[in-house]
């Protein structure tokens, strides 16, 4: 049985003092959880948040990583830096990185390999745009993305990875995929993984849903058979709503 994994992507929100308040708020509401819980603050808050979550049920993740190891890459952050600050997870290929930084499946695949090579867990994001859904090519897009981002990974690497299905039209828009739409997409992604590897491998992969997950829709989404957790944006910025989503899992 797959464990539920709830991750909060803070994006470019929360300076150091706001980060302290948010983590303290989550910890004051929840003492322990059934689900695995991850917070992904901006780079500038990673060290502070690590000190607050160390030894607790909250694990630390980053929002991105460089494909380079070190050197003259202004503005980039390496995997070894993330590891040294205590990150266990790294989001790769978020749709905002695809949109604003032109990240491709190939680059995201390189990042996923880098993260796995360093012993951390990648949260690998895929998802169709509104235009693609309206054209009826969602399955085709998700198949291509799944194959692209997982290319060359071993079965044990895939089993350790988290895939986040995030329909782009549902991110930050207040529009949520229906539980059926989300579960259908997850089922397809799992089928593609089973064709690339095996059913045994596909059954082990955690597939999160992301896209306007809120306390009032979390329970229904998270009770779908193929939805193993949530990647949460807006609703993770308030301790009470993030805690309510974690409790729904």
Binding flags for ligand PEP, 182-221, as an x/- string (CB under 6 A): ----------------------------xxxx--------
Taking CB positions, which residue lies at the least distance from ligand PEP? 233
Are 196 and 241 in contact by the 8 Å Cβ rule? The answer is no
- For ligand PEP, which residue of 233, 241, 244, 249 counts as binding (CB under 6 A)? 233
Q: What is the dihedral of CA 96, 98, 101, 105, to 10 degrees?
A: 150
Torsion, Cα 20 25 26 30, to 10 degrees, reads 140
Cα separation, 140 vs 138, in Å, equals 5
Q: Which of 94, 96, 103, 132 is catalytic?
A: 94
Cβ neighbour number for residue 78 with a 10 Å cutoff: 18
User: Minimum CB separation from ligand PEP for residue 72, in Å?
Assistant: 30
The answer to whether 111 and 219 have CB atoms below 8 angstroms apart is no
Catalytic (active site) residue 106: no
Q: Under the criterion CB under 6 A, does residue 92 sit at the interface with ligand PEP? A: no
Axis-axis angle for helices 105-117, 138-150 (nearest 10): 40
Instruction: Kindly identify the residues of this chain, within the stretch 7-46, that bind ligand PEP according to CB under 6 A.
Output: 9
| Active-site annotation holds for 134 | no
Which one, 9 or 146, has the nearer CB to ligand PEP? 9
Q: Which is nearer to ligand PEP, 201 or 227 (CB)?
A: 227
Minimum distance from CB of 149 to ligand PEP (Å)?
15
């Amino acid at each position: 049985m797959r464990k539920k994994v709830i991750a909060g992507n803070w994006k470019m929100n929360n300076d150091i003092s706001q980060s302290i308040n948010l983590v303290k708020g989550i910890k004051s509401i929840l003492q322990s959880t059934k689900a695995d819980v991850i917070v992904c603050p901006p780079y500038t808050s990673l060290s502070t948040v690590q000190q607050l979550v160390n030894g607790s049920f909250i694990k630390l993740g980053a929002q991105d990583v460089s494909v380079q190891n070190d050197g003259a890459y202004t503005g980039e952050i390496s995997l070894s830096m993330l590891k040294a600050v205590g990150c266990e997870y790294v989001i790769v290929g978020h749709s905002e990185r695809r949109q604003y930084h032109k990240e491709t499946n190939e680059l995201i695949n390189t990042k996923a390999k880098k993260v796995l090579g360093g012993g951390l867990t990648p949260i690998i994001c895929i998802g169709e745009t509104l235009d693609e859904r309206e054209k009826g090519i969602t399955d085709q897009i998700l198949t291509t993305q799944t194959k692209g981002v997982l290319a060359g990974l071993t079965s044990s690497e895939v089993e350790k990875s988290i895939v986040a299905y995030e329909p782009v039209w549902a991110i930050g828009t207040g529009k949520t995929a229906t539980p059926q739409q989300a579960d259908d997409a997850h089922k397809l992604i799992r089928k593609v993984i089973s064709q690339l590897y095996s059913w045994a491998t596909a059954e082990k992969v955690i597939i999160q849903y992301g896209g306007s997950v809120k306390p009032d829709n979390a329970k229904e989404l998270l009770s779908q058979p193929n939805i193993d957790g949530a990647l949460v944006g807006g609703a993770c910025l308030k301790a009470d709503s993030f805690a309510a989503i974690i409790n729904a899992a």
